[in-house]
Amino acid sequence: MKKYLWLMLAGLIIAFIWGNSLQPAVESESLSIFGANLVKTIFEFCHFHVSIGVLDHVVRKLAHFTEFALQGFLIYKSLSMFRVRNGVKIAIIIGILTAIIDETIQLSVPGRSSQISDVILDTAGAATGACISYLFALKHK
């Protein structure tokens, strides 16, 4: 039963990723600006000043990397629960496919664009998450 929970969580993160890509640019931008302003407030409290434009870019890229790292982690965990071999490789391939579909979705959304650099960043996130999940599995054997 537990293995189906992991599989469901992996499916939910993919739905979350694609759902975010369906948001028009205005909505997506307002969410990242909110995050950037939050980080800016924390930085200013520490007397460290960074422009909102730089923070917005960093917040967006970190969000991409993090959601795909979570996907890679959950996909590997799901595959390992079903005793699938080559789980890290498969999780990375699924990450690449998810990223390509994600960027393709954005082509049809007003104000959004598709970038190969995002596919690369997303793939790096998925690979990182899958490797972390693999290392956790090794540690707990």
Residue 98 in contact with residue 21, Cβ under 8 Å? Answer: no
Minimal CA–CA distance to 114: which of 103, 105, 100?
A: 103
Q: Is residue 89 scored above 90 in pLDDT?
A: yes
Q: Which residues contact 60 (CB under 8 A, 6 or more apart)?
A: 32
User: Model confidence over 100-109: pLDDT tens digits?
Assistant: 999 999 999 9
Least confident of 10-19, 35-44, 50-59, 105-114: 35-44
Instruction: Choose from 33-47, 54-68, 115-129 the range with maximum mean pLDDT.
Output: 115-129
What pLDDT shows up at residue 10? 97
Helix axes 2-21, 52-81, angle to 10 degrees: 150
Q: Give the per-residue SS3 of 115-138.
A: CHHHHHHHHHHHHHHHHHHHHHHH
Helix (H) or strand (E) holding 26: helix 25-45
Give percent of the chain with pLDDT exceeding 90: 67
Q: Is residue 14 scored above 90 in pLDDT?
A: yes
